[in-house]
Chains A and B, each alone.
Chain A
C-alpha cells in the first residue's frame, strides 16, 4: 500500500472514530451547558446501549426495532438518572454533584459486569451494505454509515435547538436558569429533555461503535466517554458545533498519532492536549469565557 493511500485510510479511520466521539460529546456538552455537570456516567450509556441492543438482537428481533428500543431504553435511563441522583443535588456544591456522577458511572459499569460478566462479548453487527470503492481505497459500510448517521443527527439536533420552542428553552436555561424560570420556562422539564436527548445520542453512538468493533464489554464506554469529554472541552463546552468540531479533531489526532508516532502513547498525547487546552484556553475553540461575579 502506498503512503498516500495509507494516509487516506487513516483519515477515514479518524473520521469514523471522530464521528463517534462527536456524537457522545454532544450529550456531554448539552448536559454540561444546562445542568453544569460533567456527567461521568455519560460514557457508560454507550455501553448500556450496546448491551441492550445485543440482548434484543439475540432474541431474534429485527435490527431496526432493536435499535429504537435500545435508544428509548437509554433515554429512560438518562431521565431516571437525572431525577434520582442529580436533581436532588442541583443546589448542592459542584463537587458533590461530580462525585455522584462518578458513582453513577461505576454503578452502571459494575452492575453490568455482574449481570453480563466482565468478559467481552461478540456483537452481531447488522450493517451490511456494499463497501465503497474510491480508487484503491475501500471504505466498509460501517464506516460510512457511522459518518452519515452522525452528521445527520448533528444537523437535526442543531436545527432542533435553533428553531423549535423546546430548543430555545434549552438555550435559555443554559444561559441563565433563574431568568428562564421567570420567563415561564419549565426548567425541570427542559433539563429532563436534555438528558433524554443526550443519552439517546449516546445509545446511537454505542450501537454504531459496536458495529465497527463487534466486541463489547462493561467497561467499553469509559475511555471513549473520557475522550468525548475532552472533545467537548476542546470545542468549547456548551457549544454544539464545538462538540462536533472537537470530536472530529480528537478522532483525527488520535488516529494519526497511533499510525505515525506511537500507538502506546496516543492516549498520553490526547490527555496532554486536554491539559494544555484547559490551562491556556479553558473556554475551548468555540466557547465563551465566563468570569465569576464579585
Chain B
C-alpha cells in the first residue's frame, strides 16, 4: 500500500488536476450538443454586452447572446479540431516512425529528411498558405495543424523505437522467427507507447493554441460555428467596453492548455516511476 502510494504520489499530483480540467471542458463541449443555457440563434439586442450576472454567468455579447453558451459551443470546435489534428499526427506519424526505426538506411533517411523538411516551414505561415489556397473551415484547420504533428510523432516514435530495437528481447523475437514488421507492431509499439501518449497530450494543448490563433486572425472556422479563437476575435474591438468577452474565452484556452500539459507531465512521471521500479 505504501509502495503504491510512493510510486503514484507525484504522478497523481499532476494527473488529477489535469484530468479534472480536461474533463470539465470536454463535458461542456459534449453537453452543448443536447442542451444549452440559452438559444444563441436568437438575437436579443436589448440584452447586449451585459456584464456577468446570475442569468448570464459569463455575460452577453454585442448581439445579446449568452457568453456561457458560446463558450460551450466553442469548446466543441476548439477541442474537436485539436483532437482530430492529434489523431492525424498519430495516424501518419507513428507508423512512419515505427518504419524508420525498423528499417535502417534508406527508408529511415527518407522519413527523417521528410520530417526535417516539414519542420523547416514556419508553421503559422504554412497554415495561412493552406487556408489561402483552400479557404477557411474546420477541415482545413485540422489538416493545417495535423501536418505539423506528423513529423513530431514520427521522430518521437523513432527515437523510442530505436532504444527498444537494441534490447535483447528483440533479438530473441528475431530468433523466434518474427519479421521486422511484426516485431515493430508487437514489441516496439507498446513499449514506445508511454512516450507517444505523453507527447500526444502536449500536441493536444499546442493544437488548441494553434486553432485559437488561426481563428483569431479569421482563418479558422466560419460563422455560424463558434470557437474560442473566434470569440476572442469578436471581442477585440469591444475589449474596452466589455472585457468579459475576452476574459472568458481566454480563460477557457488557458485552462485547456494547462489541463493537457499537466496530464502529459503526470503520465510521463507515471511511466518513469514504473520504469525505475523494474
Partners in one complex: no
Chain A positions within 8 Å of B, measured between CB atoms, are none
* B→A interface (CB under 8 Å): none
